[in-house]
């Protein structure tokens, strides 16, 4: 079935009609060509740096172990913070994820917590030994 609004086809002309330019005797007004680029076709790859379907780029993710390192170090579980901080730093080097600063601060706070805990343990043991050796003469 043919469209009644289209002009008749010349059977002697073998070239396809240019549908983008209306014929001169058309009832529609003629507009100048648009200078804006056409929209990309369906299925075409997105422009460089864009991710289709609005998903996050892999480099935008934070490393989970670096977050765990910082949180556990702040909460006083320093050994877990140090271990997860080192593993997180290793993973960040391989995958390129974000979170290097979090892992670094988790390591710093974790090592400070371990050092303070070690000093506190040494002082506690020294006081306990000192009290145990002099405690027998206290009640005399």
Q: Determine the pLDDT at residue 85.
A: 97
Ranges of H-type helices in the chain: 64-74, 78-95, 100-134
Q: Determine the pLDDT at residue 5.
A: 77
Q: Determine the pLDDT at residue 43.
A: 62
Q: Determine the pLDDT at residue 133.
A: 85
Q: Determine the pLDDT at residue 118.
A: 97
114: exposed, middle or buried (Cβ count in 10 Å: 0-12, 13-18, 19+): middle
pLDDT tens column, 117-133: 999 999 999 999 988 88
70: exposed, middle or buried (Cβ count in 10 Å: 0-12, 13-18, 19+): buried
Q: Which residues of the chain have pLDDT under 70?
A: 1-2, 9-11, 13-59, 135-140
Q: Determine the pLDDT at residue 49.
A: 63
């Amino acid at each position: 079935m043919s469209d009644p609004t289209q002009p008749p086809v010349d059977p002697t002309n073998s070239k396809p009609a240019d549908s983008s330019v209306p014929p001169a005797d058309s009832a529609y007004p003629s507009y100048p060509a648009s200078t804006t680029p056409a929209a990309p076709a369906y299925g075409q790859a997105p422009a460089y740096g864009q991710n289709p379907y609005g998903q996050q780029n892999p480099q935008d993710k934070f490393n989970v172990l670096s977050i765990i390192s910082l949180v556990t170090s702040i909460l006083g579980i320093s050994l877990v913070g140090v271990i997860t901080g080192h593993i997180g730093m290793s993973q960040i080097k391989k995958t390129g994820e974000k979170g290097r600063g979090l892992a670094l601060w988790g390591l710093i706070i974790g090592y400070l917590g371990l050092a303070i805990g070690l000093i506190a343990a040494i002082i506690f043991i020294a006081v306990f030994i000192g009290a145990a050796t002099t405690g027998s003469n206290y009640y005399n």
